[in-house]
C-alpha cells in the first residue's frame, strides 16, 4: 500500500472518529443517523455515514484492537515457529478452514479449475505446517438450515410480534457491525440469530473435531481463509470466546490475497505443489466433492429460504427464483404470487449505498419485505476487499470478479437438506435439530450500541 493511500485512509479515519466521538457524546447511546452522501464524507450536523463508520474502528476496545492486530501472517508464522522449537507435547495443531468464495480467487490466479486449485491450496497450507484443511460449505449448510427454520418461526408469529419481520440475514460481519453500532434497536431484534458459516465452522473445529481427535480446544490453532477483511472483526467478538478453555472458535482470519502474497514471498510456484485433497470433518477419507449453494457469489440464503418458505408455508414448489432489479444489480427483489396475490416478497441488498436506501425506507415504515439478504460488499462475497480489490488502484478488479463468478457458478448446487453429513452431525454432535445444544452452538445474539469508544488502530486493511 502506497504512503499516499495510507495517509488518505488515516485522514478519513481520524475525521470519522472525531465525528463519531462527538456524536456519541451528544446523543449518549442513541443510534447515529446516516447521511445522504457517500464515500465516507460526513455532512453538516455530524451525521455519520455507513462506509465511514465501518472504516473507523473507533469503538473497538484496546483488547479487541490487539486481537485484530494479531490476525496477520506474522502471527501464523509465529505459531508455526513455536511448533518447531517447543516440545511436541506443547505443539499447536493447526487447522485451516477455507471459505468457498475464496477458492475461485485461487482458481483464477493459478489458472486451474476450482477442484485442482483447492488441492494446490491445500498442499501449500500443509507445506506451511497446517495439519488439516477443510472447506466451510458444511458449516454454511448448517447456517442455511437454521436460517430457514428461524424464518418460518418468525413468519408465523408476525401478527403478534412487531420485530418478527422483516428478518435480516446475519452472515455478513460488515453489515452486523454497522447494525449493532449505529442502527441499534431499529434492526437488531430483527436480525436472524443463526451464526455465520465462519463461526459455525469454529464450533465444528473447536468442539466436534477436537473431541473426535482427542484434542484440547486450546491446543488447536484455527485459521480461516476468507474473501473479506471484516471476518477478522467477527472472529474477535466476545461471544465467540470460550472463557473456560481460554480459546477462540476462530484464532485468525487471513484473506485470500494475504495467503497468495505469502506464496509469492516464499517463491512457491503452483507447478511445484502436489495435488492434495481437502480433509473431511467426519474423517472418512477420500476427496471432498466441491459444491456450492444457490445464489450468486454468496451463501444464497435468500434463494434457499425463499424456496423452503414457499413449500413449507404455501405448499408451492419453486424451481427457479426470478430476480427483479430495482435500483441496480445489487438491489433486487423476488416475489411469490398465487392467483394475483403476493404471498412472499424478499430482497437482496448488497453494498452500503443500497443499505443506506434500505435504512431510510425502514425509518419511514416503507419496507414491504419479509426477509432481506444484506451484504456489505457490492456484488456479494466474491467481491470481498480481501481478494477482489486491485492492488494498483485500490478499487475492485471487475475483470477478476467476473472470472471468479464464472468459476464459482461452474460448481454444482447441493441443497443442505440433502446432505447426509449434516444429518449425522445434527444427531451425533448436536443431539437433534431442535436441541438446546443446537441452539447454543448454532445461534448467537446481537446487541445495541453502548460500548466505550477508543482511538482507532492504524491497520493496513
pLDDT at 288: 66
Mean pLDDT of the 100-108 span? 94
Same domain, 206 and 297: no
pLDDT at 283: 73
Residue predicted with more confidence, 89 or 220? 220
Q: For the segment 332-363, what is each residue's pLDDT rounded down to a tens digit?
A: 999 999 999 999 999 999 988 899 888 888 88
Number of compact structural domains in the chain = 3
Under the banding of pLDDT at 50, 70 and 90, the label for residue 69 is confident
Q: Report the CATH number at residue 347.
A: 3.40.950.10
Enumerate residues 6+ apart whose C-beta is below 8 A from 391: 257
Q: For the segment 155-195, what is each residue's pLDDT rounded down to a tens digit?
A: 999 999 988 989 999 989 888 988 888 888 888 999 999 99
Same domain, 424 and 371: no
Examine residue 404 and state whether it is found in any structural domain, yes or no: no
Say if residue 419's pLDDT is above 50: yes
Same domain, 110 and 202: yes
Examine residue 448 and state whether it is found in any structural domain, yes or no: no
Same domain, 238 and 117: yes
User: Cell numbers of 292, please?
Assistant: 456450492
Examine residue 332 and state whether it is found in any structural domain, yes or no: yes
Examine residue 426 and state whether it is found in any structural domain, yes or no: yes
Residue predicted with more confidence, 47 or 292? 292
pLDDT at 343: 95
Same domain, 103 and 223: yes
Examine residue 399 and state whether it is found in any structural domain, yes or no: no
Same domain, 81 and 148: no
pLDDT at 91: 80
pLDDT at 458: 29
**112-116, 235-239, 360-364 — most confident range:** 112-116
Same domain, 246 and 315: no
User: Cell numbers of 425, please?
Assistant: 452431525
pLDDT at 254: 93
Examine residue 219 and state whether it is found in any structural domain, yes or no: yes
Q: Report the CATH number at residue 283.
A: 3.40.50.1780
Average pLDDT, the chain: 81
Same domain, 36 and 150: no
Examine residue 453 and state whether it is found in any structural domain, yes or no: no
Same domain, 131 and 221: yes
Residue predicted with more confidence, 17 or 428? 428
Under the banding of pLDDT at 50, 70 and 90, the label for residue 88 is low
Same domain, 109 and 200: yes
Examine residue 461 and state whether it is found in any structural domain, yes or no: no
Contact 57, 379 (CB under 8 A): no
Same domain, 80 and 208: yes
Structural domain including 23 reads 3-56
User: In the chain, what percentage of residues exceed pLDDT 70?
Assistant: 79
Q: For the segment 305-322, what is each residue's pLDDT rounded down to a tens digit?
A: 999 999 999 999 998 888
Same domain, 365 and 337: yes
Amino acid at each position: 500500500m502506497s504512503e499516499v493511500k495510507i495517509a488518505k485512509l488515516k485522514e478519513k479515519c481520524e475525521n470519522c472518529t472525531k465525528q463519531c466521538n462527538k456524536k456519541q457524546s451528544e446523543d449518549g447511546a442513541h443510534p447515529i443517523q446516516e447521511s445522504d452522501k457517500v464515500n465516507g464524507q460526513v455532512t453538516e450536523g455530524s451525521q455519520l455515514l455507513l462506509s465511514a463508520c465501518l472504516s473507523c474502528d473507533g469503538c473497538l476496545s484496546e483488547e479487541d484492537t490487539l486481537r485484530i492486530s494479531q490476525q496477520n501472517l506474522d502471527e501464523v508464522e509465529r505459531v508455526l515457529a513455536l511448533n518447531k522449537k517447543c516440545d511436541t507435547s506443547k505443539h499447536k495443531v493447526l487447522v485451516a478452514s477455507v471459505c468457498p468464495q475464496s477458492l475461485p480467487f485461487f482458481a483464477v490466479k493459478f489458472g486451474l479449475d476450482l477442484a485442482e486449485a483447492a488441492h494446490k491450496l491445500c498442499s501449500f497450507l500443509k507445506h506451511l505446517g497446517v495439519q488439516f484443511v477443510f472447506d466451510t460449505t458444511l458449516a454454511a449448510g448448517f447456517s442455511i438450515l437454521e436460517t430457514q427454520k428461524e424464518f418460518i418461526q418468525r413468519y408465523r408469529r408476525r401478527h403478534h410480534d412487531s420485530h418478527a419481520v422483516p428478518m435480516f440475514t446475519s452472515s455478513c460481519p460488515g453489515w452486523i457491525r454497522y447494525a449493532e453500532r449505529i442502527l441499534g434497536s431499529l434492526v437488531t431484534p430483527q436480525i436472524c440469530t443463526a451464526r455465520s458459516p465462519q463461526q459455525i465452522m469454529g464450533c465444528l473445529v473447536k468442539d466436534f473435531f477436537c473431541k473426535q481427535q482427542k484434542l484440547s480446544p486450546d491446543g488447536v490453532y484455527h485459521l480461516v481463509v476468507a474473501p473479506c477483511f471484516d471476518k477478522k472483526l467477527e472472529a474477535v467478538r466476545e461471544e465467540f470466546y470460550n472463557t473456560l478453555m481460554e480459546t477462540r472458535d476462530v484464532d485468525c482470519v487471513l484473506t485470500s490475497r494475504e495467503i497468495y502474497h505469502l506464496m509469492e514471498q516464499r517463491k512457491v510456484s503452483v507447478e511445484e505443489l502436489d495435488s492434495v485433497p481437502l480433509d473431511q470433518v467426519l474423517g472418512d477419507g477420500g476427496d471432498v466433492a466441491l459444491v456450492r449453494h444457490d445464489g450468486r457469489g454468496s451463501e444464497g440464503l435468500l434463494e434457499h429460504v425463499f424456496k423452503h418458505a414457499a413449500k413449507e408455508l404455501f405448499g408451492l414448489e419453486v424451481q427457479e427464483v426470478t430476480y427483479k432489479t430495482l435500483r441496480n444489480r445489487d438491489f433486487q427483489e423476488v416475489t411469490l404470487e398465487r392467483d394475483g396475490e403476493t404471498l412472499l416478497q424478499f430482497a437482496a441488498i448488497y453494498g452500503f449505498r443500497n443499505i443506506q436506501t434500505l435504512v431510510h425506507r425502514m425509518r419511514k415504515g416503507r419496507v414491504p419485505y419479509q426477509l432481506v439478504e444484506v451484504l456489505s460488499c457490492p456484488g456479494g462475497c466474491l467481491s470481498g476487499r480481501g481478494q477482489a480489490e486491485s492492488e494498483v488502484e485500490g478499487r475492485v478488479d471487475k475483470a477478476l470478479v467476473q472470472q471468479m463468478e464464472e468459476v464459482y457458478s461452474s460448481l454444482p448446487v447441493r441443497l443442505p437438506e440433502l446432505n447426509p453429513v449434516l444429518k449425522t452431525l445434527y444427531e451425533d454432535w448436536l443431539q437433534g435439530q431442535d436441541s438446546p445444544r443446537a441452539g447454543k452452538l448454532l445461534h448467537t445474539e446481537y446487541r445495541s450500541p453502548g460500548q466505550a469508544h477508543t482511538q482507532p488502530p492504524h491497520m493496513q486493511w
